[in-house]
Amino acid sequence: MAIVIPVINLKGGVAKTTTSVGLAEMLSSEFKKKVLFIDLDPQTNGTTMLIGEHRWKDLNDNGYTLARLFESALHPEEFTFDLNRTLQRNVSNILSVMNLDLIPSSLDLINLQDDLTRIPRGRFYTNHPYDILRKGIQPIFNHYDYIIIDCPPNLGLITLNGLRIANGYIIPTIPDVLSTYGIPQIINRVNDFAWEISYPIETLGIVITKFKENSNVHQTNRAKLQREIDAPLFNAVFKENNQMASAADFTMEYATFRQKWGYGGQFDAFYNLANEIVERYERNEN
């Protein structure tokens, strides 16, 4: 059964999407895992990082995105979700990434989220509006070792759909006041949701991103997170690095993960993050 890991933060600009995409590519490329990337963020950045803007636009225009899944839940008499045509196989511009698939996002998710609260229970194939994604991907769920979910920067129903199928979630953050402010709220809300659905959702940990070693603010806030937040910190730390930003350009093709994400410690950070996750779950299995 797949291990499902949503990536969440309420604050934008914390490298949430690049962390999500890089983790998925690392698990596929270096750990040889079969990975599904689900892009729940209506900004669609994760999608375009993996298939490019042109291909995404074609899929979006033809209704082959996650928006159609939620539309079909709202209006089953009008829309049908085609999982087979929506699922994009063998994505990424890294040639060594062989087993990474994608369910793409859409800007239309922005308008759909508020409407989901109006779904009558028992309508279509879901009893709750947070069960839509779980039911929609059920036919392929066990095809993967890991499912990485890039969540929108909120705790609305779209995000809850990702958490509904989660084993554990990751919170990437810059170690500054604004980026870390909402972390206790995330943890408390996820704990409440897990209690509501009677399903354990583990706080896998906080990932430090855009870290500046010479910044007293970053050093202080990193220590504060370790001391005050009821969540572990991953040993992996992503330092401030221009290569992380340039990796978002799909038009370039790369032979290896290291070539795309850079040689300035980014490979090691992604490897360590993936390794911590794999060791945690595979140790539990053994």
pLDDT, one tens digit per residue, over 144-171 is: 999 999 999 999 999 999 999 999 999 9
Q: For 219-242, what is the mean pLDDT?
A: 89
3-state SS class at 213: coil
State percent of the chain over pLDDT 70.
96
- Report residue 28 as tokens: 């596929």
Contact 135, 83 (CB under 8 A): no
The pLDDT value recorded for residue 230 is 87
- Containing structural domain, residue 134: 3-285
Facing residues of 101 across strands? 36
State percent of the chain over pLDDT 90.
75
Element (H, E) at 74: helix 66-74
- Distance spanning both ends of the chain, measured CA to CA: 14
The pLDDT value recorded for residue 265 is 87
CA distance 200 to 167: 7
pLDDT by residue (tens digit) across 246-272? 788 899 999 999 999 987 789 999 999
pTM of the model: 0.95
Query: Between helices 16-29 and 266-285, what is the axis angle to 10°?
Result: 70
Start-end of H helices in 118-239: 132-136, 157-164, 177-180, 183-197, 216-228
Task: Look up the CATH number of the domain holding residue 263.
Answer: 3.40.50.300
- Report residue 57 as tokens: 């636009």
The pLDDT value recorded for residue 31 is 97
Domains in the chain, number: 1
- Quickly count: other Cβ atoms within 10 Å of residue 244's Cβ: 21
Residue 94 per-residue DSSP state: B
Q: Smallest Cα–Cα separation from 184: which of 231, 236, 252?
A: 231
